[in-house]
Structure 1
Amino acid sequence: MAHLIERLTSQSFNNLRNTELPSIAESGVHLVSGIYFSWDTEEGIVRMPLLQAPESLLKFEYEVETKPRWLTLNIELGNARLEAGAILGIVANLSGGAGSELNMFVRTTRDDEFVDTQFDEGLLGSDVPSVRVAMHQLAQDSGSVGATGFHTLIIELPFKKFDLDLREVQIFVLPAAHGLHLSDETLGRFS
Protein backbone atom coordinates (compact mmCIF):
# COMPACT_ATOMS: atom_id res chain seq x y z
CA MET A 1 0.00 0.00 0.00
CA ALA A 2 1.28 3.46 -0.88
CA HIS A 3 2.48 5.72 1.92
CA LEU A 4 0.20 8.65 2.81
CA ILE A 5 2.87 11.07 1.47
CA GLU A 6 2.92 9.25 -1.88
CA ARG A 7 -0.87 9.40 -2.21
CA LEU A 8 -1.09 13.07 -1.25
CA THR A 9 1.72 14.26 -3.54
CA SER A 10 0.47 12.14 -6.43
CA GLN A 11 -2.91 13.88 -6.12
CA SER A 12 -1.21 17.30 -6.01
CA PHE A 13 0.79 16.53 -9.17
CA ASN A 14 -2.36 15.25 -10.94
CA ASN A 15 -4.15 18.46 -9.99
CA LEU A 16 -1.20 20.51 -11.25
CA ARG A 17 -1.28 18.73 -14.61
CA ASN A 18 -5.02 19.37 -14.98
CA THR A 19 -5.07 23.01 -13.87
CA GLU A 20 -4.68 26.08 -16.01
CA LEU A 21 -1.87 27.91 -14.23
CA PRO A 22 -1.51 31.68 -13.93
CA SER A 23 0.97 33.34 -16.28
CA ILE A 24 3.17 34.51 -13.39
CA ALA A 25 3.85 32.81 -10.05
CA GLU A 26 3.59 34.82 -6.84
CA SER A 27 5.44 34.03 -3.64
CA GLY A 28 3.36 31.97 -1.21
CA VAL A 29 0.38 31.59 -3.56
CA HIS A 30 -0.50 27.94 -4.19
CA LEU A 31 -0.52 26.86 -7.84
CA VAL A 32 -2.69 23.98 -6.63
CA SER A 33 -3.23 22.68 -3.13
CA GLY A 34 0.18 21.59 -1.83
CA ILE A 35 2.49 23.19 -4.43
CA TYR A 36 3.81 26.75 -4.39
CA PHE A 37 6.87 28.93 -4.87
CA SER A 38 8.26 31.04 -2.06
CA TRP A 39 10.80 33.83 -1.93
CA ASP A 40 11.66 36.70 0.35
CA THR A 41 9.53 39.58 -0.94
CA GLU A 42 10.93 42.05 1.60
CA GLU A 43 14.49 41.96 0.27
CA GLY A 44 14.12 40.23 -3.08
CA ILE A 45 12.51 40.91 -6.41
CA VAL A 46 11.86 37.84 -8.57
CA ARG A 47 9.83 37.73 -11.78
CA MET A 48 8.67 34.16 -12.40
CA PRO A 49 6.63 33.47 -15.56
CA LEU A 50 4.97 30.07 -15.79
CA LEU A 51 5.13 28.65 -19.30
CA GLN A 52 2.37 26.55 -20.83
CA ALA A 53 3.59 23.33 -22.46
CA PRO A 54 1.29 20.32 -23.03
CA GLU A 55 3.99 17.76 -22.15
CA SER A 56 4.99 19.56 -18.94
CA LEU A 57 3.78 19.29 -15.38
CA LEU A 58 5.38 22.62 -14.44
CA LYS A 59 7.58 24.75 -16.65
CA PHE A 60 9.00 28.02 -15.39
CA GLU A 61 11.78 30.51 -15.89
CA TYR A 62 12.75 33.45 -13.78
CA GLU A 63 15.11 36.33 -13.33
CA VAL A 64 16.30 37.64 -10.00
CA GLU A 65 16.28 41.42 -10.04
CA THR A 66 17.22 41.76 -6.35
CA LYS A 67 18.55 38.73 -4.46
CA PRO A 68 16.06 37.38 -1.89
CA ARG A 69 17.17 35.55 1.26
CA TRP A 70 15.44 32.40 -0.05
CA LEU A 71 13.90 31.18 -3.30
CA THR A 72 12.16 27.80 -3.28
CA LEU A 73 9.65 25.43 -4.83
CA ASN A 74 7.62 23.86 -2.02
CA ILE A 75 5.78 20.55 -2.15
CA GLU A 76 3.60 19.81 0.87
CA LEU A 77 3.92 16.20 1.99
CA GLY A 78 1.15 16.57 4.56
CA ASN A 79 0.63 15.28 8.09
CA ALA A 80 2.45 11.99 8.39
CA ARG A 81 4.69 9.96 10.63
CA LEU A 82 8.15 9.12 9.32
CA GLU A 83 10.32 6.47 10.93
CA ALA A 84 14.08 6.29 11.37
CA GLY A 85 15.68 4.33 8.54
CA ALA A 86 12.97 5.19 6.03
CA ILE A 87 14.11 6.54 2.68
CA LEU A 88 12.39 9.63 1.34
CA GLY A 89 12.97 10.27 -2.35
CA ILE A 90 11.99 12.18 -5.44
CA VAL A 91 12.09 11.07 -9.07
CA ALA A 92 11.80 13.83 -11.66
CA ASN A 93 11.79 13.79 -15.44
CA LEU A 94 13.18 17.25 -16.11
CA SER A 95 15.13 19.49 -18.44
CA GLY A 96 16.76 22.82 -17.79
CA GLY A 97 18.96 24.05 -15.02
CA ALA A 98 22.05 22.50 -16.63
CA GLY A 99 25.07 22.86 -14.37
CA SER A 100 22.90 23.40 -11.28
CA GLU A 101 22.22 21.06 -8.39
CA LEU A 102 18.92 21.76 -6.67
CA ASN A 103 19.43 21.10 -2.97
CA MET A 104 16.44 20.02 -0.93
CA PHE A 105 15.32 19.67 2.63
CA VAL A 106 12.22 18.54 4.49
CA ARG A 107 10.71 21.06 6.88
CA THR A 108 8.75 19.35 9.63
CA THR A 109 6.35 21.37 11.76
CA ARG A 110 4.96 20.24 15.11
CA ASP A 111 3.25 22.49 17.67
CA ASP A 112 4.25 25.71 15.84
CA GLU A 113 7.95 24.74 15.83
CA PHE A 114 9.86 23.52 12.80
CA VAL A 115 13.02 21.58 12.11
CA ASP A 116 14.76 21.06 8.76
CA THR A 117 16.25 17.80 7.50
CA GLN A 118 18.72 18.37 4.64
CA PHE A 119 18.81 15.80 1.81
CA ASP A 120 22.26 14.28 1.24
CA GLU A 121 21.92 14.84 -2.50
CA GLY A 122 20.06 17.19 -4.80
CA LEU A 123 18.49 17.01 -8.24
CA LEU A 124 20.91 17.72 -11.08
CA GLY A 125 19.77 19.92 -13.95
CA SER A 126 20.20 18.81 -17.57
CA ASP A 127 20.26 20.29 -21.08
CA VAL A 128 18.08 17.45 -22.35
CA PRO A 129 15.10 15.66 -20.79
CA SER A 130 16.53 13.32 -18.14
CA VAL A 131 15.25 11.29 -15.23
CA ARG A 132 16.86 12.39 -11.98
CA VAL A 133 16.57 10.78 -8.55
CA ALA A 134 17.47 12.10 -5.11
CA MET A 135 17.03 10.13 -1.91
CA HIS A 136 17.65 10.64 1.77
CA GLN A 137 17.66 8.05 4.54
CA LEU A 138 16.16 9.45 7.72
CA ALA A 139 18.45 9.06 10.73
CA GLN A 140 17.22 8.41 14.26
CA ASP A 141 18.20 11.96 15.28
CA SER A 142 16.46 13.56 12.29
CA GLY A 143 13.82 16.09 13.23
CA SER A 144 11.50 14.54 10.64
CA VAL A 145 11.14 11.22 12.46
CA GLY A 146 8.99 10.41 15.43
CA ALA A 147 5.60 11.89 16.15
CA THR A 148 3.28 12.90 13.34
CA GLY A 149 4.22 16.25 11.85
CA PHE A 150 3.41 18.40 8.84
CA HIS A 151 6.18 17.87 6.27
CA THR A 152 7.10 20.01 3.27
CA LEU A 153 9.75 19.14 0.69
CA ILE A 154 11.56 22.39 -0.09
CA ILE A 155 13.61 22.59 -3.27
CA GLU A 156 16.12 25.45 -3.21
CA LEU A 157 16.33 27.38 -6.47
CA PRO A 158 19.41 29.34 -7.67
CA PHE A 159 19.63 33.12 -7.27
CA LYS A 160 20.30 33.65 -10.98
CA LYS A 161 18.44 33.52 -14.29
CA PHE A 162 17.07 29.99 -14.37
CA ASP A 163 14.61 27.77 -16.20
CA LEU A 164 13.25 24.33 -15.45
CA ASP A 165 10.75 22.03 -17.14
CA LEU A 166 9.34 19.38 -14.81
CA ARG A 167 7.62 16.81 -17.02
CA GLU A 168 6.86 14.24 -14.31
CA VAL A 169 7.54 14.13 -10.59
CA GLN A 170 6.98 11.37 -8.06
CA ILE A 171 7.70 11.43 -4.33
CA PHE A 172 8.27 8.10 -2.62
CA VAL A 173 8.80 6.68 0.87
CA LEU A 174 10.51 3.34 1.39
CA PRO A 175 9.82 2.10 4.93
CA ALA A 176 12.76 1.14 7.13
CA ALA A 177 11.35 -2.38 7.29
CA HIS A 178 12.53 -2.92 3.70
CA GLY A 179 16.10 -3.06 5.04
CA LEU A 180 17.60 -0.72 2.45
CA HIS A 181 20.60 1.45 3.30
CA LEU A 182 21.95 4.37 1.33
CA SER A 183 25.24 4.54 3.24
CA ASP A 184 28.17 2.15 2.94
CA GLU A 185 28.22 -0.91 5.16
CA THR A 186 30.69 -0.64 8.06
CA LEU A 187 31.68 -3.05 10.83
CA GLY A 188 30.35 -0.55 13.40
CA ARG A 189 26.89 -0.94 11.93
CA PHE A 190 26.82 -4.59 13.05
CA SER A 191 27.98 -4.06 16.64
Structure 2
Amino acid sequence: MRNITIILSVLLLFGLLIYWLFPKKEALPVLKNISSFEMENVHDGTYRFDKGKVRLVTFFYTNCPDVCPSTMTDLKQLQEQFKNQEIFASEAELISITLDPEFDNKEIIQKYASAFQADPDGWKWLRDTPAETKSIAAKFQMNYKKTEDGFVAHNTTMYLVDENNQIRATYDMANPSKPVDREKILKDIHQLLK
Protein backbone atom coordinates (compact mmCIF):
# COMPACT_ATOMS: atom_id res chain seq x y z
CA MET A 1 0.00 0.00 0.00
CA ARG A 2 2.83 2.33 0.90
CA ASN A 3 4.53 1.70 -2.49
CA ILE A 4 1.31 2.58 -4.32
CA THR A 5 1.07 5.88 -2.38
CA ILE A 6 4.68 6.73 -3.24
CA ILE A 7 4.13 5.89 -6.92
CA LEU A 8 0.94 7.99 -7.05
CA SER A 9 2.69 10.89 -5.32
CA VAL A 10 5.60 10.74 -7.77
CA LEU A 11 3.20 10.62 -10.73
CA LEU A 12 1.24 13.58 -9.36
CA LEU A 13 4.44 15.59 -8.85
CA PHE A 14 5.63 14.65 -12.33
CA GLY A 15 2.30 15.76 -13.82
CA LEU A 16 2.41 19.10 -11.97
CA LEU A 17 6.01 19.63 -13.06
CA ILE A 18 5.08 19.06 -16.72
CA TYR A 19 2.13 21.46 -16.37
CA TRP A 20 4.31 24.23 -14.88
CA LEU A 21 7.27 23.81 -17.22
CA PHE A 22 5.46 23.07 -20.48
CA PRO A 23 5.31 26.26 -22.58
CA LYS A 24 1.82 27.70 -22.68
CA LYS A 25 0.44 29.40 -25.73
CA GLU A 26 -1.13 32.59 -24.45
CA ALA A 27 -3.71 34.37 -26.54
CA LEU A 28 -2.96 37.91 -27.64
CA PRO A 29 -4.93 40.33 -25.45
CA VAL A 30 -7.65 42.59 -26.81
CA LEU A 31 -6.18 46.08 -26.40
CA LYS A 32 -8.92 48.16 -28.03
CA ASN A 33 -11.90 47.87 -30.37
CA ILE A 34 -11.79 49.93 -33.56
CA SER A 35 -15.09 51.01 -35.06
CA SER A 36 -15.39 50.59 -38.82
CA PHE A 37 -14.45 53.50 -41.10
CA GLU A 38 -13.90 54.31 -44.76
CA MET A 39 -10.98 56.07 -46.44
CA GLU A 40 -9.83 56.72 -49.97
CA ASN A 41 -7.74 53.84 -51.28
CA VAL A 42 -5.29 55.58 -53.63
CA HIS A 43 -5.18 52.54 -55.92
CA ASP A 44 -8.83 51.55 -56.01
CA GLY A 45 -11.64 53.85 -54.86
CA THR A 46 -12.72 53.39 -51.24
CA TYR A 47 -11.41 51.05 -48.56
CA ARG A 48 -13.75 49.97 -45.77
CA PHE A 49 -11.93 49.08 -42.58
CA ASP A 50 -14.29 46.33 -41.57
CA LYS A 51 -14.25 42.86 -40.11
CA GLY A 52 -12.86 39.90 -41.98
CA LYS A 53 -9.05 40.01 -42.23
CA VAL A 54 -6.04 40.44 -39.99
CA ARG A 55 -4.38 43.80 -40.70
CA LEU A 56 -1.10 45.45 -39.77
CA VAL A 57 -1.80 49.20 -39.65
CA THR A 58 1.00 51.74 -40.03
CA PHE A 59 0.70 55.53 -40.12
CA PHE A 60 3.20 57.39 -42.31
CA TYR A 61 3.77 60.45 -44.47
CA THR A 62 5.77 60.59 -47.68
CA ASN A 63 8.12 63.41 -46.59
CA CYS A 64 9.18 61.50 -43.48
CA PRO A 65 12.99 61.47 -43.52
CA ASP A 66 13.76 58.32 -41.54
CA VAL A 67 11.30 56.15 -39.60
CA CYS A 68 8.64 55.84 -42.33
CA PRO A 69 10.88 54.83 -45.27
CA SER A 70 12.84 52.42 -43.06
CA THR A 71 9.56 50.86 -41.91
CA MET A 72 8.20 50.61 -45.46
CA THR A 73 11.39 48.81 -46.54
CA ASP A 74 10.76 46.25 -43.79
CA LEU A 75 7.07 45.99 -44.75
CA LYS A 76 8.13 45.28 -48.33
CA GLN A 77 9.95 42.21 -46.99
CA LEU A 78 6.95 41.33 -44.83
CA GLN A 79 4.75 41.54 -47.94
CA GLU A 80 6.97 38.89 -49.57
CA GLN A 81 6.74 36.70 -46.47
CA PHE A 82 2.93 37.00 -46.55
CA LYS A 83 2.98 35.95 -50.21
CA ASN A 84 5.32 33.01 -49.57
CA GLN A 85 3.01 31.82 -46.80
CA GLU A 86 -0.04 32.35 -49.01
CA ILE A 87 -1.84 34.69 -46.62
CA PHE A 88 -1.29 37.96 -48.53
CA ALA A 89 -4.57 39.70 -49.41
CA SER A 90 -6.68 36.61 -48.72
CA GLU A 91 -6.18 36.50 -44.93
CA ALA A 92 -3.83 39.34 -44.01
CA GLU A 93 -3.30 42.89 -45.28
CA LEU A 94 -0.87 45.72 -44.75
CA ILE A 95 -2.58 49.09 -44.24
CA SER A 96 -0.65 52.37 -44.59
CA ILE A 97 -2.49 55.59 -43.66
CA THR A 98 -1.00 59.00 -44.40
CA LEU A 99 -0.88 61.58 -41.61
CA ASP A 100 -0.33 64.38 -44.13
CA PRO A 101 -3.25 64.28 -46.59
CA GLU A 102 -2.78 67.96 -47.43
CA PHE A 103 0.50 67.12 -49.16
CA ASP A 104 0.11 63.39 -49.78
CA ASN A 105 -2.35 63.34 -52.64
CA LYS A 106 -3.30 60.20 -54.55
CA GLU A 107 -0.50 60.49 -57.13
CA ILE A 108 2.22 61.21 -54.58
CA ILE A 109 1.22 58.19 -52.47
CA GLN A 110 1.01 55.95 -55.54
CA LYS A 111 4.56 56.94 -56.50
CA TYR A 112 5.75 56.41 -52.91
CA ALA A 113 4.07 52.96 -52.72
CA SER A 114 5.62 51.92 -56.00
CA ALA A 115 9.09 52.77 -54.64
CA PHE A 116 8.52 49.93 -52.13
CA GLN A 117 7.04 47.61 -54.77
CA ALA A 118 3.77 47.55 -52.84
CA ASP A 119 1.19 45.17 -54.27
CA PRO A 120 -2.17 46.98 -53.94
CA ASP A 121 -4.03 43.66 -53.75
CA GLY A 122 -2.98 43.28 -50.13
CA TRP A 123 -1.11 46.47 -49.23
CA LYS A 124 -3.65 49.27 -48.99
CA TRP A 125 -2.54 52.92 -49.05
CA LEU A 126 -5.17 55.20 -47.54
CA ARG A 127 -5.87 58.91 -47.20
CA ASP A 128 -8.74 61.25 -46.30
CA THR A 129 -9.37 64.85 -45.30
CA PRO A 130 -7.21 66.27 -42.50
CA ALA A 131 -10.21 66.27 -40.11
CA GLU A 132 -11.17 62.68 -40.94
CA THR A 133 -7.53 61.56 -40.68
CA LYS A 134 -7.32 63.06 -37.19
CA SER A 135 -10.53 61.25 -36.20
CA ILE A 136 -9.27 57.91 -37.52
CA ALA A 137 -5.83 58.35 -35.93
CA ALA A 138 -7.58 59.01 -32.60
CA LYS A 139 -9.28 55.61 -32.85
CA PHE A 140 -5.79 54.07 -32.69
CA GLN A 141 -4.53 56.62 -30.14
CA MET A 142 -2.03 57.74 -32.78
CA ASN A 143 -0.79 61.18 -31.79
CA TYR A 144 0.74 63.46 -34.38
CA LYS A 145 1.26 67.12 -35.14
CA LYS A 146 2.29 68.85 -38.35
CA THR A 147 4.75 71.70 -37.87
CA GLU A 148 5.00 74.87 -39.97
CA ASP A 149 7.97 73.46 -41.89
CA GLY A 150 5.92 70.43 -43.04
CA PHE A 151 7.45 67.92 -40.63
CA VAL A 152 4.94 65.58 -38.96
CA ALA A 153 5.91 64.50 -35.46
CA HIS A 154 4.11 61.21 -34.76
CA ASN A 155 4.06 58.09 -32.61
CA THR A 156 6.08 55.23 -34.04
CA THR A 157 3.56 52.50 -33.27
CA MET A 158 2.12 49.89 -35.63
CA TYR A 159 -1.07 48.05 -34.79
CA LEU A 160 -2.11 44.44 -35.35
CA VAL A 161 -5.88 44.32 -35.82
CA ASP A 162 -7.77 41.04 -35.89
CA GLU A 163 -10.68 40.02 -38.11
CA ASN A 164 -13.11 41.49 -35.53
CA ASN A 165 -11.53 44.98 -35.61
CA GLN A 166 -9.77 44.55 -32.28
CA ILE A 167 -6.20 45.75 -31.72
CA ARG A 168 -4.36 42.67 -30.47
CA ALA A 169 -0.72 43.84 -30.45
CA THR A 170 1.46 46.86 -31.11
CA TYR A 171 4.96 47.04 -32.52
CA ASP A 172 7.65 49.67 -32.99
CA MET A 173 8.30 51.08 -36.42
CA ALA A 174 11.85 50.79 -37.73
CA ASN A 175 14.64 53.12 -36.76
CA PRO A 176 18.22 53.34 -38.07
CA SER A 177 19.51 50.82 -35.52
CA LYS A 178 16.53 48.45 -35.25
CA PRO A 179 14.33 47.06 -38.04
CA VAL A 180 10.70 46.04 -37.69
CA ASP A 181 10.38 42.73 -35.83
CA ARG A 182 8.90 40.83 -38.79
CA GLU A 183 9.23 37.41 -37.16
CA LYS A 184 7.23 38.49 -34.10
CA ILE A 185 4.57 40.06 -36.33
CA LEU A 186 4.28 36.89 -38.44
CA LYS A 187 4.08 34.71 -35.35
CA ASP A 188 1.30 36.86 -33.91
CA ILE A 189 -0.59 36.95 -37.22
CA HIS A 190 -0.50 33.15 -37.47
CA GLN A 191 -1.75 32.92 -33.90
CA LEU A 192 -4.75 35.07 -34.87
CA LEU A 193 -5.37 33.08 -38.06
CA LYS A 194 -5.63 29.75 -36.19
Q: TM-score range by the shorter chain?
A: under 0.3
Using the size of structure 2 for normalisation, the TM-score is 0.27
Larger radius of gyration: 2
Structure in which a larger fraction of residues adopt strand:
1
Return the structure number with greater helix share: 2
Query: Relative CO higher for 1 or 2, CA cutoff 8 Å, sep ≥ 6?
Result: 2
Q: Normalising by structure 1, what TM-score?
A: 0.27
